[in-house]
Amino acid sequence: MSRAETVATAPPPVRPSPLWTLGLLRSELLTTLRRWRTLALLGVLAAVPVLVGVAVRIETGGSPAGGGPEGGGGPAFIAQITNNGLFLVFTALAATLPFFLPMAVGVIAGDAIAGEASAGTLRYLLVAPAGRTRLLLVKYTTTVAFCVLATLVVALSALIAGAVLFPLGDLTTISGTRITFGEGLLRALLIALVVAASLIGVAALGLFVSTLTNSGIAAMATTVGLLITVQILDQIPQLHAIQPYFFSHYWLSFADLMREPVYWDDVLRNLGVQALYAAVFGSAAWARFTAKDITA
């Protein structure tokens, strides 16, 4: 048989079906969630609201705080926790967003590709009919799912602790108006989703770093280091011209969702910045990974 005939009779390349891709995503989600490291991160995140609630309870003795809330930051939320335990949700998200939540996401994202390479399993994943683009997309989707899960863990832990330690009921927004407890719960859910969306830029950055090295520890450390560096730079007044482009600059804008009416400007800016980081570093990760020589 000639070479031309061999080529002509060769079977077409196998293309993975959408169902196969969903199976890979399901497997990746289960693998990530079953790791002790992931469970430990979620445990730490769940413990933070409890510690905050207990500290406020001990400090105030459970006595309601006087005065209405003013301003839109964490301290205003803290002042209202004893009046309404639902404010512990907002306080916990404000306390974990600057470091704990992005650090956890950075660990998961940094380990996504580099961890497989260091464990020697990356080549085996690519032998399956996944393709590098699909595998990278599955890894990023898993990281984004962790962003949502981690944020909801913080919010749910804070809601339970707030219900146990403090009264629940109608609440006062930071604009001074009253809303029902049901509307407060809906706003808490909306805030949690906005906080989760605020982490997709860090997820894309961590995934890009993960494609640059075969060491999972190095990728995780680099991602967390970049996170800390950016937040330090965001506090330097002389850099005010470029600070709106930092992924962390509008993180605490979710407090505007507790105003009446809601201020959407900074919230939308935050989502726009996160989408920009996801597009830029997601594309950079794809370009690096698809051209990378996989030796492990």
Residues near 234 by Cβ (< 8 Å), separated by ≥ 6? 243, 246, 248, 249
The answer to whether residue 237 scores a pLDDT higher than 80 is yes
- Beta-carbon contacts of residue 224 (< 8 Å; ≥ 6 apart): 103, 106, 107, 110
Q: Considering only residues 233 and 63, tell me which one the structure prediction assigns the higher pLDDT.
A: 233
Q: Give the model's confidence band at 10: pLDDT under 50 very low, under 70 low, under 90 confident, else very high.
A: very low
pLDDT band at 242 (very low <50, low <70, confident <90, very high): very high
Number of H helices, E strands in the chain: 12, 2
pLDDT at 8 over 50: no
Q: Where are the domains of the chain?
A: 16-291
